Amino acid sequence: MSGPLLAIDGLNKRFGGLLASDDISLDVRPGELHALIGPNGAGKSTLIGQIMGDLRPDGGSIRLDGEDVTAVPTAGRVAKGLARTFQVAELLPDYTALDNVALAVQVRQGHSFRFWADARRDEPLRSAARHVLQEAGLSRLGDAPVTGLAQGERKQLELAVALASEPRLLLLDEPMAGLGAGESRQMVEILLGLKGRIAMLLVEHDMDAVFALADRISVLVYGRVVASGSAADIRADADVKAAYLGEGDA
């Protein structure tokens, strides 16, 4: 593939008098981790919602692997290889970590009609789920109920559920939110292990994690991309330092 896996061009979204997405253009290349940063209220969640198909843009286009998916529903985008995680992990609390991932594998294989019992008994499904848990650093906790997992472990499990769909592009919505320093370091190591195999768009406030992970960084302020480039470019951008990194002149 020579072009970007995700290409956003001139995206606009308005809520009444608020322009939440203001002519946004950015792309994510195959195997790249592109970070999206910005202050609270910058429009990051609105952009993720439009990429996933939860929100319909008022203008502009979204293309996946060259195909215009601007009007494609969420399920259709997932079928084309799009997956996401959330700021607050969305899991099935009454099931084990392995059960959660096995169900996601079952859905990916097109057997959702077999329902819960098969996902909890089918050994090929569970074998595939164990492999995904290992990728997410949770192989030792497969039999643990979700209710017994720490916050960082729940974040890892949600990542495993997303990986079970074998995505080509993964949207990561603040995976470090609520994590302690050690948990954040572990998540960074897991994501570093995925780089190059899965394209990722990372929305994150933890700048240490962003600078450790990102191939490129785009800065969103008041719904508009004000800067985009390498970590070194963003660190050196005077406007970004003043508006977001808190390093401007007093």
What is the pLDDT at residue 250? 34
Superfamily of domain 1-81+168-250: P-loop containing nucleotide triphosphate hydrolases (3.40.50.300)
Give the whole-angstrom CA distance, residue 229 versus residue 37: 12
End-to-end, the C-alpha distance of the chain in Å comes to 47
More confident residue, 87 or 4: 4
What is the pLDDT at residue 89? 62
More confident residue, 153 or 114: 153
Long-range contacts formed by 121-127: CB under 8 A, 24+ apart: 126/98, 126/102
More confident residue, 110 or 158: 158
Domain positions in the chain: 1-81+168-250, 93-166
CB 11 within 8 A of CB 48: no
The encoded tokens of residue 112 equal 């959702």
Overall average pLDDT of the 190-206 stretch: 94
189: alpha, beta or left? (left if phi > 0; alpha if psi -120 to 50): alpha
Q: Give percent above pLDDT 70 in the chain.
A: 90
Q: How far is CA 144 from CA 11, 47, 52, 96, 190, in A?
A: 42, 34, 30, 5, 20
Regarding pTM above 0.75, the answer is yes
Q: What is the band of 237 on the pLDDT scale with cuts at 50, 70, 90?
A: confident
